[in-house]
Structure 1
Amino acid sequence: MIRHAALLALMATAAQAEAPVSGYAFMQPETQALQDDAFANPGMLWVDLGRELWNRPEASGDSCAGCHGGPETLRGVGARYPAWSATEGRVVSLEQQINLCREGRQQAVPLPYGSRELLALSALVMHQSLGLPQAVATDGPAAEAYVRGRDYFETRRGQLNLSCANCHVEQAGSRLRGETISQGQVNGFPIYRQLWQDIGSAGRMIAWCNEAVRATQLEEGSPMAVELELYLRARGNGLAIESPAVRR
C-alpha cells in the first residue's frame, strides 16, 4: 500500500513536470476548426458585444474607450490576469478588474459575475492577447494566493473524493465517457462550451467541475475561486492565449 502510494506520488510529480498542453490539443478536429474560424466561432458573438459595450458611455458619460482608446491598446493585459491589486490588497480576476474600473472610473454599477455583459467585456479584453503567451505573476504578494490555489487543486473533495490533480494531472490523456481528459489548462477562457451552448469564465468551469465530483461549489469571483484560477493560469504560463476558445 505504501509502495503504491509512493508510486502514485512519483507519477503525479512527473506529470506536473511535463510541459503544459492546451485543451485545444485534446479536442476533435471539428471542434478545433470551429475555434480557428473567426467567423464561425460562437464565442466571437460575445467579443462583438464586448466591443459595443466598450464604446458605450455609462451614466457618467465615460466609456472604456474614453480612457483606453481602442481595445487593442490592452494587448497583453489579459494574459497577466489574475493579478495582485495593491489597492484591493488581494489577487483580482480580469472580471473583477473590469468592475473595479467601472466603479472607480465610470461611476457605474458593477456587472454581475457570469452576466452576458461582463463575459463579453472580458472576452473582448482577452481576445486582444490572442496568440500571446500566458504570463501570470506568482511572486511577491501574490505568492501566498498561488500556494492556496495549488493546495486547493491538490486536495480531494466531494462524494467522489477526487482532487483537480487526480483528473488533470494523473489521468490527463485518459478517456472518460468518450472524452479525453485534458490537463485542465485555462488559456482559452472565457470559452464557448458546446455542452453549455454558452460562454463561461474559468470560475464557471471551476464550479462545474466541483459539481461533477459532488463537492461544494466555489462561487464565481470568491477569493478561493480567484486564487485557484491564479494557480491554473500560472501552471499554463507560456501557452498561447486562445480566447474565445471552443471546448466540448
Structure 2
Amino acid sequence: MIRSPPRARWGAAAVLALGLGVSLAIAQTAPPASERKSGFAFMSPESQAMQMDDAANPGMLWVAEGETLWTTKVGPDNRSCADCHGDAAVSMKGVAARYPAYFEEEHRPVDLQGRINLCRQARQKTAALPYESRELLALAAFIGKQSRGMPITPATDARLEPFRAQGQALYEQRQGQLNFSCANCHDDNWGRRLGSSVIPQAHPTGYPLYRLEWQDMGSLQRRFRNCMVGVRAEPYPYGAPEYINLELFLMTGAKGMLVETPAVRP
C-alpha cells in the first residue's frame, strides 16, 4: 500500500529516478556479505578523518553530554542510570550492538532509545525523553560508544522473527508518488552517485550519528523519515513500530559489521 504523500520538495530519490534515469524494474538484490560496506567506506578522506578523530568528531559533544546525563539523578527517588548500571564502559559494552531486542513487558521489540525511555519511566519514575531531543540522542550516543569497534550481534530471540519479517517487507515495499522502495536505492544502486554523494548500502552501523547535511546529531528514525519524504511518502511518526521493525531487519543484515557510534556522514 502506498502511503499518502506529504507536501514536500522532491528529494534524493526523485533526482535518482529523473537525473540518472534509473529503471524501477531492476531486481532487488542485497549485496552479498563479501561486498558489504559501511557508509564510512563511501565518504571522502576528510570526512573519514573527522569520524576517526574524537577531537574532531562533532558527535563526541553528544557523547560527553550523555556521560553527564548517565550520572545525573532524576525522579522522585533521585536515581541516575549509574545507580543501577554502574560504570557504562563495563555494563553497556556490547549493548548497542544487539538492539533492537524483544522486551517482554511490551510484547514487541524496542530500539535503544525506547529502552532508555522504558528505564526512565519504570526505574527512575520520570518522564520519557522526546524522540530526537538532545538528551535522548546524547544518552543513546554515550551508550552506543561503549560498543564502538564491536561486531553487530542481532538478537536471535525467536519471538523477533515476525517483526523482522515485517521490517523486510517494509524495506522492499514501494512507497510514495515515486513508487520507490528502500531496496531500489540501497541494494540496486549502491555505489552510484546521486549528485555529489555516493549512495551507500543500508547498514545502520553508526547511529545516532552526526550528519554534515543536518549540522546536527540524528537517529536512524530521522534518516528513515528523510528517505520517506524523499520518495514523497508520508513518514510514520517517531517511535512507530514500523521503524523498529525496519531497524531490526537492517541490523540483521549488518551482522558482524563493526559499531561506529558516533559516526559522521555527509
Which of 66, 70, 82 is the aligned partner of 1:54? 70
Indicate the larger mover: 17-26 or 199-208. Answer: 17-26
Q: How far, CA to CA, are the matches of 2:125 and 2:211 in structure 1?
A: 33
Residues 130-149 of structure 1 mapped to structure 2, 5 A cutoff = 130-149=148-167
Which ranges of structure 2 fall in alignment gaps of 5 or more residues? 1-22
Q: Which residue of 2 aligns with 1:208?
A: 226
Query: Do residues 28 (structure 1) and 28 (structure 2) align?
Result: no
Q: How far, CA to CA, are the matches of 1:91 and 1:182 in structure 2?
A: 26
Distance 1:14 1:61, change over 3 A: closer
Which of 56, 68, 71 is the aligned partner of 2:88? 71
AA aligned to 1:47 is V
1:133-165: CA deviations, max 9, x gaps? 011125400000000000000011111111000
AA aligned to 2:134 is R
AA aligned to 1:222 is A
AA aligned to 2:217 is I
Which of 175, 185, 194 is the aligned partner of 1:176? 194
The answer as to whether partners of 1:84 and 1:92 remain within 8 angstroms in 2 is yes
Query: Do residues 81 (structure 1) and 99 (structure 2) align?
Result: yes
Distance 1:81 1:134, change over 3 A: same
Q: How far is 1:184 from its partner?
A: 1.9
CA root-mean-square deviation? 1.5
- Indicate the structure with greater helix content: 1
Q: Which residue of 2 aligns with 1:113?
A: 131
AA aligned to 2:80 is S
Which structure's relative contact order is higher, taking Cα pairs within 8 Å and 6+ residues apart? 2
SS in 1 for 2:155: coil
Query: Do residues 246 (structure 1) and 264 (structure 2) align?
Result: yes
AA aligned to 1:27 is M
The answer as to whether partners of 1:82 and 1:229 remain within 8 angstroms in 2 is yes
Q: How far, CA to CA, are the matches of 1:8 and 1:49 in structure 2?
A: 45
Aligned residues: 241
1:145-199: CA deviations, max 9, x gaps? 0000000000111111110000000001111112110002111100100000100
Distance 1:157 1:14, change over 3 A: closer
* TM-score normalised to structure 1 length: 0.94
Q: How far, CA to CA, are the matches of 1:65 and 1:147 in structure 2?
A: 35
Q: How far, CA to CA, are the matches of 2:123 and 2:209 in structure 1?
A: 28
Q: Which residue of 2 aligns with 1:39?
A: 55
Which ranges of structure 1 fall in alignment gaps of 5 or more residues? none
Instruction: Give the share of equivalent positions with the same residue, in percent.
Output: 46
The answer as to whether partners of 1:190 and 1:243 remain within 8 angstroms in 2 is yes
| Moved segments of 4+, more than 2 Å | 12-20
Q: How far is 1:216 from its partner?
A: 1.0
The answer as to whether partners of 1:194 and 1:247 remain within 8 angstroms in 2 is yes
